[in-house]
Amino acid sequence: MTLKISDASIVKRTANQVCCDMEGESIVLNLKSGIYYSLDEVGARIWALIEQPVPITAIRDAILSEYEVQAEVCERDVRAFIEGMDAAGLIEVLIEVKNDVGA
């Protein structure tokens, strides 16, 4: 089951994939489905960022600092990429739970 992705989400690669770098781009193989995915330069950069658990906001901030892109476009595209990888079964989405303490 996929979880809704929010700014509080933390994502990481699943163990059921392998990838290789191809001169700035990446090829990812989903070991469960046998499907290959080709990632362009920006997708490969995001893929590198999610090798370890990382918040969506940190991914967005890294892409904003490294590429010339408008913030709204970056936010939309990063989220779409993460949602696509989630739907493909290539990442895990971890939800950060905040405890609200009544005052």
Give per-residue pLDDT as tens, 45-97. 999 999 999 999 999 999 999 999 999 999 999 999 999 999 999 999 887 54
pLDDT at 28 > cutoff 60: yes
Residue 59 lies in a domain: yes
Residue 3 lies in a domain: no
Q: Are 43 and 81 in contact (CB under 8 A)?
A: yes
pLDDT of residue 68: 95
Residue 73 lies in a domain: yes
Residue 56 lies in a domain: yes
Residue 17 lies in a domain: yes
Residue 4 lies in a domain: no
Domain extent, residue 86, equals 9-95
- The structural domain count of the chain equals 1
Query: Closest Cα partner for 56 from 36, 34, 83, 29?
Result: 83
Residue 48's CATH number: 3.90.930
Residue 83 lies in a domain: yes
Section 31-54 average pLDDT: 96
pLDDT at 43 > cutoff 60: yes
pLDDT at 103 > cutoff 50: no
- Which value, to the nearest 10 degrees, does the dihedral of the CA atoms of residues 103, 101, 75, 44 take? 150
pTM for the structure as a whole: 0.85
